Amino acid sequence: MSDLMPLFMFLLAGLILMTGYPVAFALAGTALIFALLGTITGGFDASFLEAMPSRLFGIMTNETLVAVPLFVFMGAMLERSRVAEQLLDAMSALFGSLRGGLGISVVLVGMLMAASTGIVGATVVTMGMMALPTMLKRDYDSAIACGTICASGTLGQIIPPSIILVLLGDVLSSAFQQAQLDMGLFSPETVSVGDLFAGALIPGLILVAMYIVYLLSVAWLRPAIMPAPGITVDNSKSWTSLLAALVPPIILIVSVLGSILGGLATPTEAASVGAVGATVLALANRTFSKDVLRRVAISTLEVTSMVFMILIGASLFSLVFRGFGGDDLIAELLGSLPGGVIGAMIVVMLVMFLLGFILDFIEITFVVVPIVGPILLTMGLDPVWLGIMIAINLQTSFLTPPFGFALFYLRGVAPKSVSTGQIYRGVLPFIVIQLLMLLMLAYWPGLATWLPSLIYG
């Protein structure tokens, strides 16, 4: 019976989470309950809990995680400085009478917003409030409009610099070192957040290109659902407004991402550049005020507190899980699957996909990846490739009906005239594109590993 305690832990935590109870307290509470039961029954050594203070100290002194509040501040400041609104207006004017041009504008602005904010919920809500009314006003089909916005919003999962990739990079770094120690390598190699940023660039840009190709195909094959606006555009004015709206955020993104990839700055240092740069952009746009700063600071505090509380709860959960021998149980289960490492990878991806319906990326990163990551990496998988596969897999999960988080975010800001069924129908083609991207990565791992190896050797 004690051998199955780790599985019962996961089951109870999942049931509590489905009630809507806060994730951090659900994980920590479940861990303490099982630790108490295990201590009473003799199936758990309470000395495992003595490692918790050192884990907390490790979280407090982790320089990589300092990038989280800085990136959150950067995204919140850009969101309130009307950068996305100006970009959308400029690109919509630039594409003018091109059929499907507004949809393409939404994808491109979503890509830039993803690179700027890295927060899926913020991007989907912002684009939904700005772009959806305009698309519906121009007689776009509700389904294609909603699908485009949801898919573009989830690009924040994979387009660097992303908070999600920062967190995943930190967890995978620890998992990779543990895997090498388990294999008897006592001078382990490391994987950094910069590696993941570089690995995500090509798959992320391919996804954007595939979205645009799909929208152009729909506009050509079914012009009634993506009509041309039929207006005359002053191209010189469009280019002027586009450059004025596009150049500042591009400079900011290149400064942040380029400094990391070029080895000039750590993710934390680059994030501080991004936070200051976003504030400068807000000042330049004349949208900066004491009230804006106060709201940005509150938003940053709320998101950062949530992230670190979940990390603490997840650390306690994984500690008790390992105390019950859960890592050995998972390794045995994955090792006994048919197909070896391929079978194990498929099962892990499927489980994470399903968990994406009830857990946010942060919970999955902190709870699931530390458990399965070392096992998969011990089987010989590349850590960068594994990280990008996880990111795109969960990006697909967040798009998939009926529980995808992106769908809930858009439903909250969409007008009542747009039905939930139309939102579901609209995202289905983009889910197919995401799955195709996963298959391409599985067949050509170099899509994720070539650029990091080129930059970092």
Helix (H) or strand (E) holding 343: helix 340-355
Give yes or no for a contact between 409 and 110, defined as CB atoms under 8 angstroms apart. Answer: no
Which residues have a Cβ under 8 Å from the Cβ of 58 and sit 6 or more positions away?
Answer: none
What is the largest distance, in Å, between two alpha-carbon atoms of the chain?
A: 78
Please check whether residue 322 is in contact with residue 6, taking contact to mean a CB–CB distance below 8 angstroms.
no
Read off the amino acid at residue 373.
Answer: G
Per-residue model confidence (pLDDT) at position 449: 92
Q: Determine the average pLDDT of the residues in 55-69.
A: 81
Distance (Å, whole) CA 37 – CA 204: 46
Residue 21 neighbours by CB under 8 Å, 6+ apart: none
Confidence of residue 113 (pLDDT cuts 50, 70, 90): confident
220 pLDDT higher than 80 = yes
150, 107 Cβ separation under 8 angstroms: no
Q: Residue 118: left if φ>0, alpha if ψ -120 to 50, beta else—which one? A: left
Enumerate residues 6+ apart whose C-beta is below 8 A from 236. Answer: none
Predicted local confidence at residue 203, as pLDDT: 94
Nearest to 356 by CA among 218, 182, 196, 157: 157
Interval 181-201 mean pLDDT: 81
Q: Tokens representing 162?
A: 């992303």
- List the structure tokens of 383: 């850590």
Rounded average pLDDT over 356-378: 81
Residue 235 has pLDDT above 60, yes or no: no
List all residues 6 or more positions away from 217 whose beta carbon is below 8 Å from its beta carbon.
none
Q: Is 228 left (phi over 0), alpha (psi -120 to 50) or beta?
A: beta
Whether 52 shows a pLDDT value over 80: the answer reads yes
